[in-house]
Amino acid sequence: MTQRNRYIAKIEGLDGHGKHRSQWMTFSNDLQGALKQYTENVGLDAATQFLRGALIVYPLGPYTDKSVPPMGLGRIVAVQRKKQGFHARPRAQFLMPQRWHGTDDQDIRDALRYVQHDYQYWTRQQIAADLAAWRHKYKLRNAFIHWPRWGMRLVTQWRIWRARRYLDWRAAQRR
C-alpha cells in the first residue's frame, strides 16, 4: 500500500521566539484536494508560491471533547508535499496576501468577518487582534475595532490552561 502525498505548511505565529515561533501543520482534507487539483493544473512550484504569505486560522491550544481550542491567525511561510503529514492541522479558512495587505476598509472588514464567522466570541476577538497585529507588523493601517493584543493573549492563555487542566483531569479519571 502506498502512502499518498500530503501538503504541509510551516505556519509562523505572532508569539514565541526562534524555532518556537513557527510550526509545521498538515492542511485539512478539503484543502488537500484543492491543492492537488491546483498542482495538476499549474505545477507544484506555482501551488506552493500561491499560499506563501497567506494568513490561516490555526489552533493555539489542544482540542478537547468539550470545546474547540482558541484559534489565531498565522502566516504561511512555506508549503511542501511530503509522504507523512503532521498531526496538527490548521483550519481551511485563510486570507491571501493581497486581501489582508489591502487598503480598502470594507474589503478588510469583510475578510475579517469571513475568517471569524463560525467561532465563539473570544476566538473571534483573538482572530481580529491577530489580524491587527499582522497589519501593524507590515505597517498597514487597521480599519476595524479590536481588543488590545495583550488582553487577548491573557484570555487565550487562560482558555488554553483550562483546556489542558481538563485533559489532565480526564486522564487521571481513566487511571
Q: What is the pLDDT of residue 16?
A: 57
Residue 109 maps to a domain: yes
DSSP 14: S
Helix axes 105-116, 121-137, angle to 10 degrees: 140
Q: Which domain holds residue 168?
A: 6-174
Residue 1 maps to a domain: no
Interval 54-69 mean pLDDT:
86
Residue 161 maps to a domain: yes
Interval 97-106 mean pLDDT:
86
pLDDT band at 63 (very low <50, low <70, confident <90, very high): confident
Interval 24-29 mean pLDDT:
88
Residue 71 maps to a domain: yes
Q: Of 61, 58, 55, 102, which is closest to residue 77 (Cα–Cα)? A: 55
**CA 160, 164, 167, 169 torsion-angle sign:** negative
Residue 110 maps to a domain: yes
Structural domain count of the chain = 1
- 151-160 pLDDT, tens digit per residue, is 888 898 898 8
Is residue 36 helix, strand or coil?
A: helix
Q: What is the pLDDT of residue 1?
A: 34
CA pair distance 85, 22, nearest whole angstrom? 16
pLDDT band at 54 (very low <50, low <70, confident <90, very high): very high
Kindly report the average pLDDT of the chain as a whole number.
Answer: 85
- 33-52 pLDDT, tens digit per residue, is 888 888 889 888 888 888 89
